[in-house]
Structures are given as structure tokens and as C-alpha cells.
Copies of this chain bind each other. A is one copy, B any other.
Amino acid sequence: MKLFDGGRAPNPRRVRVFLAEKGIAVPLVPIDMGALEHRKQSVSSRNPLQRLPVLELDDGTILTESVAICRYFEELHPEPALFGRGALGKAQVEMWQRRMEFNLLSCVAQAFRHIHPAMKEWEIPQIPEWGEANKPKAVEFLRLLDDELGNREFIAGDSYSIADITGLIAIDFMKPARIKVPDECANVLRWHQAVSSRPSAAA
């Protein structure tokens, strides 16, 4: 198999961090998203949505969507469990994974895509007012998350999970999106420090 990878973009990194946590090595095919290579034949023939990452299996089967690719590897290599254990544990990881995705990562991505000058060719039309509207939404969610992280070590409970990976890439994405974690969110900052110091964060 091979993984068409998009470098620094959040979703490609999400899969690389996941694989690093699992200790799985997959051959990478680097795609230069800065040069819009993901809109060329090598990607668009595999994913008409022209998004990365894309996993191609040895028989040519294509999987797209970062979380779907992660789930494939979770099923093949269940340990360490990054999608939770048991009915309730799996549901709680899914709940927090979605909360991190819809209430944080998505808001940060909208702010970045609708405000950053480099995104003019990516997001058509760019609507700066919508980008700005997302910044306070992200910060409001961080305050809620801060309350939650007062009671536990990781986003979805006492174990590291894919919800932590989504949170890590969302918070790191806040820098180019020019959104800051409020200083008083001490629990979020402590958690971010902890997940950033894991070797997987360098993936």
C-alpha cells in the first residue's frame, strides 16, 4: 500500500500521527499541496474531491478521509486502541472526536481558509466575515474543553485517542489561523504540552 501525503496540512498530519502512535510504517508519496499538486491527475484520479491524504491498497482500492484511513488501521492493528474500548468507550471517543472536529478544527480551518491571503485560490469565494465569525466560536469551545480537562488527562478519558490527535492538529493549526488559546485555559495548555511532547507529534 501507499499513502499520498500532503505534508504540513492538518489532515495528512492527523494520519501520520495516528500511524506513529500505532508504530505502523506506510510508504509515503509526497504531494506538494503548496504547488496545488493535489488538483492534478495523480490525486484527482484517485479522489475526485482532490483532498489528501489518500490511501491506495495493493489491489488498487482507494480509501480517502483521514479518519476513515485511521479506522482501517485500527481494525487491522487494534493495539494500542485509539478509537476506544467497549461500547461506551468507543462511543465516548466518537463523541469527543466529533466535538473536536466540528467545534474546533472546523472553526480553525474556516478562519484560515476565509482570511489567509494564501487561501484565495483554495476557498472561492473567500468571505472574511465568515472567517472572523469562526474565531470566537473556537475560543468559546476551548473554554468548555478547559473545564472538561480539569477532570481527566486526555480529551475522551484516561487514555490517549484519536480525539487527542484531532485536538493536537487543531490547536497547532490555530497559529497560521491567528487564533490564540486564552492564557486562563490552563488545562488545555497542560494537555497540549503533554500531547506535543509525545514522539508521534513530530510525524
Contact = CB atoms under 8 A, between A and B. Distances in A.
Nearest to A87: B75
Interface string A153-169: 00000000000000000
Interface residues of A, number: 32
Interface string A120-158: 000001010110010000000000100100000000000
Contact of A63 (B48, B61, B64, B91): B91
A94 interface: yes
A76 B88 CA distance: 9
Most chain B CB atoms below 10 A, which of A49, A72, A144, A147: A72
B90 A71 contact: yes
10 contacts: A49-B99, A65-B95, A65-B98, A65-B99, A68-B92, A68-B98, A72-B91, A75-B90, A125-B133, A129-B130
